[in-house]
Structure 1
Amino acid sequence: MSNEKEETRQLEFSADASNAELANLTGPLDANLRQIETILDVSIARRGNVFRVSGSTSHVRRAIHALQRLLNRIRTTGEELSAKDLQLFFVDERTETEGVPQDDSLAPLKTRRRDLRGRTLRQHDYIKAIQDCDIAFGIGPAGTGKTYLAVASAVDAYERNTVERIILTRPAVEAGERLGFLPGDLSQKVDPYLRPLYDALFDLLGFEKTRTLMERQTIEIAPLAYMRGRTLNNAFIILDEAQNTTPEQMKMFLTRIGFGSKAVITGDITQIDLPRGTHSGLIQAQHVLAGVRGIAFTYFTAADVVRHPLVARIVEAYEKDAESREKGRHGIE
């Protein structure tokens, strides 16, 4: 292993920029610089147009390269650099390193709000799996785009007239806490469990369009229990939070698929909220359906997290802890 990463170094970068460009680059009260420090684990001090970056050699070089590219972007577009833009910049930078294939056969997902492509290699593979297979599983931690890209794929399929309706479902399981009695009719009782699906639809279609399609039953959002006994033809069906299904529920859902339909199943097997002793249908499905033609599995990791950089670090920390516990259980040094 090279010692370069462990070596601490300090480099300076002089930015040839106007005061307005520098203000845009650094953000209010240098908030953008603090974000870069967090993402790359470096320290950045600025005096005027001179940036002094300290940290491991490789991280310092990445930080200076990022400052140069961000400044060029500001000059080219003239747009204000937001915290979200900054975070997505580093996701895209990581994607460039991974080498996400430019597959001309994989058109961007078309929605009324935006055209979407996979930002990471596994997101690209996930979208391709959804398009190529009738049943696709997306398994991995929070923030990797499993649900959002599945909903975007459903909207894209509807906009291209390849399906007649969109059905979104998830098991109504409380996430490790007792919510007690919820007031209202049945729809209002299950709405809190389905909120992430609503959020994705509102973002991709807009509130009014989503409401109109739901009123027409073109978009249907329902708890998993409502799927029993149905045959779903010409539909794009998404089962979210599938780690909280039982094996019986998973089998029931998968056998609802009718002619001209697609199904996407998403879940995070590290966040199972089922009662102790109850097996997860998602975990069982991985073993039972492995190798079945027409079914694809995509596994996401912390490297695919497209949220605040701390989310990726949190996921990595929990993954390391789980690995350590597993080794300890088997007596592995």
Structure 2
Amino acid sequence: MAESPESVERTIEISGAEPLLLFGFNDVYLRRIEAAFADTRLVARGDRLKLKGPSDQVDQIERVIGELVVILNRNGNLTENDVDTILDLARVGTGLQRRGGQDAILFTPQGGTIKAKTPGQARLVESARQSDIAFAVGPAGTGKTYTAVALAVSALKSRQVKKIVLTRPAVEAGESLGFLPGGFRDKVDPYLRPLYDALEDMIDSEKLRSYLERNIVEIVPLAYMRGRTLNTSFVILDEAQNATGGQMKMFLTRLGAGSRAIVTGDATQTDLPARAQSGLVQARSILEGVDGIAFVDFSKEDVVRHKLVKDIIEAYEKAGTGS
């Protein structure tokens, strides 16, 4: 290996985990990590791991090992999928390239790859890794919801969480779904359809049906979250600009042990009554700077829909109106 001037050597001691389970049989997991960071060498000796390579990659490998220890302690074992998922998230956050040049968040049943396509999406991935609650705020078409759902599915597949809960305010119905025709699913589907669409891209249809039946994946209107406590869950509040301040507080206080949340929304597109303040706007003024909570701003430069969407957003900004 040709060492660069910033090459370092570091030895870390593995504590709180069985090295054989962490490194894999015949160090198979270590070899996967080493292959992902091409300029590094990893050598295991008992409960000690020697790292040699560029300092930034050594730092990242140490974080990867730490996250794998957490998963091992939670589940009692590691799988190749666990290792690949953590490596994929690490690559997106640092710009390190996956084999084939892809920064993967998740691999789809069709053999495709979901990855961060814009700087805003990459910042959301990194913030979601480092913070228990991340707010993704910005215009439509920037992939906020899609990226959030991909992160949730990745966490479920790697067994970092036991369930996914996706929710949106049904504000057009005033959350009074009883006045709408049809059964419960008929009433809420129009408001939750975008979440179903994202999930159907990421999870095999039979498995998704099983997840929904067993409430491993749950999609509910925000009004139905009241009074619940969600443990070891990945929770997403979409279209959060349409949540009131009280609803936002209610949602955020549903989080239990081992849970994470992403809140997405566009503060310029609220459908709330004129006198009601958006809970998304209020949350930022109250919570920005709180440890463990991150705010990620998306801009028109992050738009991944039709090229005209970016021009439309810019035109509305020039006109001084967002609704």
| TM tier, smaller | 0.5 to 0.7
The alpha-carbon distance between structure 1 residues 107 and 312, as it changes in their structure 2 partners (threshold 3 A), is closer
CA deviations over 1:83-105 (Å, ceiling 9, x no partner):
xxxxxxxxxxxxxxxxx951469
Q: Deviations over 1:195-250 (max 9, x none)?
A: 11000001111333221210111000001111111110000000000000000000
What is the 5 A alignment of 1:8-157? 102-103=95-96, 108-113=104-109, 114-157=112-155
Show the counterpart of 2:68: none
How far the C-alpha of 1:107 sits from its partner, in A, is 6.3
The CA deviation at 1:111 is: 3.7
Report the AA paired with residue 152 of structure 2. Answer: A
Matched letter for residue 304 of structure 1: D
For residues 141-177 of structure 1, give each alpha carbon's deviation from its aligned partner in whole angstroms, at most 9, with x where no partner exists.
111000000000000000111000000001111299x
1:108 partner letter: A
One-letter amino acid of the structure 1 residue matched with residue 265 of structure 2 = G
Name 1:307's counterpart in structure 2. 305
Distance 1:203 1:104 in 2: 23
What TM-score do you get using the length of structure 1 for normalisation?
Answer: 0.63
Deviation of 1:187 after TM superposition, in Å, equals 2.4
Among residues 221, 243, 246, which one is paired with 1:245 in the alignment? 243
Q: 1:182 Cα deviation (Å)?
A: 3.0
Match of 2:180 among 179, 182, 189: 182
CA distance in 2: counterparts of 1:101 and 1:233, whole angstroms: 29
The whole-number CA distance in structure 2 between the counterparts of 1:158 and 1:146 is 19
Q: Identify the residue that residue 296 of structure 1 maps to in structure 2.
A: 294
Question: Shift of residue 298 of structure 1?
Answer: 0.6
The answer (yes or no) to whether the contact 2:108–2:114 under 8 Å persists in 1 is no
Greater Cα radius of gyration, structure 1 or 2 = 1
Say which of 266, 270, 273 aligns to 1:272: 270
Instruction: Report 1:178-327 matches (<5 A).
Output: 182-322=180-320
User: What's the % identity of the aligned pairs?
Assistant: 56
For 1:101 and 1:319, locate their aligned partners in 2 and report how far apart those are by CA, in whole Å. Answer: 32
Letter in 2 for 1:277: R
Q: TM-score, normalised by structure 2?
A: 0.65
1:111–1:159 Cα contact (<8 Å) kept = no
Residues 110 and 159, structure 1, Cα contact 8 Å, conserved in 2: no
Aligned residues: 224
